[in-house]
Amino acid sequence: MTRHQNEPENFEKKIEVKGHLIDSMILTRIFDKIMDQKGEFEVEEFKIGKMKKDHSYVRLLVKGRSKNHLEKMLQEIYRDGAIPVELEAVKFQPSPNDRVIPDNFYSTTNNPTYIYLDGKWVKVENQMMDKIVAVNPNKGTAICKMIKSVEKGDLIVIGETGVKVVPPERPRQGLGVFQFMNSQSSIEKPTQAMSKRIAEDIFKTKRNGGKIAVVAGPAVVHTGAVSSLAKIVKEGYVDVLLAGNALAVHDVEYALYGTSLGVNIDDGTTAFMGHRNHMAAINEIFKVGSLKQAVVKGVLKKGVFFECIRNSVKFILAGSIRDDGPIPDVVTDTVEAQTRYKEALNEVDLVLMLATTLHSIAVGNMLPSNVKVIAVDINPSSVTKLLDRGTGQAIGLVSDIGVFLPSIAHYLDELKRKSVSKRV
């Protein structure tokens, strides 16, 4: 039908969305985003799943005031899982140069993403947030890439056409702490009860063959929790440890001198000439060449990194301009450190972020939204920043790490004893 000259132009699009739309608040978010931008919608079809595992389905007609207004609304709701009823193939353009991408590039979320290529949905591999999608039409594949990895001629997805995002849904069955907590971050959560639930999730993850990463800051040592983390590593609950120079330096300082930042951990008193202990610790590692050599030569006899080395637990230390030393094991090239972090996080099921804001946010940006994240910090803003920077699946616990880690170690011991007694 041809539109007459005086007839107003319609700026509308039919979209559909499927999933656990009500209990996971997906449909509410879509409605909110349309109304927030002063758009209109009509519900053309609405089917509610009757059983717990059944998906619901909604078809909407979204109306805008102009083409640009409609496109802005669609961009927002597509990221909540909506797709056009009339599917269009994904669009892409070649990269004009190494580390240069087309202006209209598609910027990824951390949610599972698919592109509509050659008549079928293709899953984007290596999912991360705030990255780009490179397509190989010949192989029928797509991969999430950092800009630094883009090479001239790479085919980069542009616009929102032909892209489907699958947002996280509320768990349909008990998942320990992830079912127990009905809000993502609060200072009013019962720490002991939460610690027990988190320990259960850690124990179940390892029992089911899952992989756990720990991201930790030097407060683990300062608060006296270093022995607890070392024990958790020794017992096999950690597959990879990600940190900075400071955690390693103060872990070694405590192992050699019993202090952290010159303060005796056991009684909280200031050690004589303790202000130089962290530098002395760095010096001892430089003498032997590395943390591993410090263990091999008997210099380092306890602590987190002693247990990592003794139990073949991978660790990566990312450098910073603030670092003293840094010790030889630290990766001082931040781009290289970022690459190593990402490689170490492949196939991780659970990440514990312990008292470190910057490293937690960095790791959060590398994780797909189906990886469970538990962030613990005594500073509420540290937990909130992680959630605000896009790691929406994270559960935050505002607690002193010096109380939290000993509780986790204790509850893991209890779970192990119960498991052994059941087998006997």
**Percent of the chain having pLDDT more than 90?**
69
110's CB contacts (< 8 A; 6+ apart) are 127, 128, 129, 364, 365, 367, 368, 369, 390, 391, 393
- As a whole number of Å, the end-to-end CA separation of the chain is 77
Rounded CA-CA distance 354/217 in Å is 6
Strand partners, 245: none
Mean pLDDT of 173-183: 47
Measured N-to-C along each axis, helices 245-257 and 226-234 cross at an angle, to the nearest 10 degrees, of: 100
The number of helices, as runs of H, and strands, as runs of E, in the chain is 14, 20
Main-chain dihedrals φ then ψ at residue 39, nearest 5 degrees: -95, 180
Judged by DSSP in three states, 23 sits in: coil
- pLDDT band at residue 286 using 50, 70 and 90 as cut-offs: very high
pLDDT at residue 317, as a whole number: 98
Per-residue pLDDT for 424 more than 70? no
* pLDDT score at 394: 77
Q: Could you tell me which CATH class the domain 8-86 is placed in?
A: alpha beta
Mean pLDDT of the chain: 89
Percent of the chain with pLDDT over 70: 91
Model confidence at 413, pLDDT cuts 50, 70, 90, reads very high
Which tops the pLDDT comparison, 369 or 153? 153
Quote the pLDDT of residue 168: 77
Eight-state DSSP code of residue 149: G
What is the structure's pLDDT at 1?
A: 43
What is the pLDDT at residue 189? 56
* Fold observed for domain 87-168: 2.40.420
pLDDT in tens, 223-248: 999 999 999 999 999 999 999 999 99
Query: What is the pLDDT at residue 393?
Result: 72
Phi and psi (nearest 5°) for 67?
-60, -45
Residue 179 — very low, low, confident or very high, per pLDDT cuts 50/70/90? very low
87-168 and 177-423 agree in CATH topology: no
Query: Does domain 177-423 sit in CATH 3.40.50.10690?
Result: yes
Q: Does the structure show a pLDDT above 70 at 139?
A: yes
- Local confidence band at 180 (pLDDT 50, 70, 90 cut-offs): very low
| Distance (Å, whole) CA 301 – CA 295 | 6
pLDDT recorded at residue 419: 86
pLDDT range class, residue 390, cuts 50, 70, 90:
low
For residue 184, pLDDT over 60 is answered with no
CA nearest 237: which of 308, 141, 335, 298? Answer: 308
User: What are the residue boundaries of the structural domains of the chain, listed by start?
Assistant: 8-86, 87-168, 177-423
* 392 has a pLDDT exceeding 70: no
pLDDT at 273 over 80: yes
| CA distances (Å), origin 83, targets 172, 236, 371 | 24, 43, 24
Distances in Å between the alpha carbon of 9 and those of 24, 89, 351? 35, 25, 51
Reported confidence tier of residue 131, pLDDT bands at 50, 70, 90:
very high
The DSSP-derived string for 267-300 is T-PBPTTGGGHHHHHHHHHHHHSSHHHHHHTTS-
pLDDT in tens, 326-375: 999 999 999 999 999 999 999 899 999 999 989 999 999 999 988 999 99
What is the mean pLDDT of the segment spanning 125-131?
Answer: 93
- More confident site: 2 or 353: 353
pLDDT band at residue 90, thresholds of 50, 70 and 90? very high
Range list of β-strands (E), 20-161: 40-47, 56-64, 83-84, 91-94, 113-117, 120-125, 132-136, 141-145, 155-158
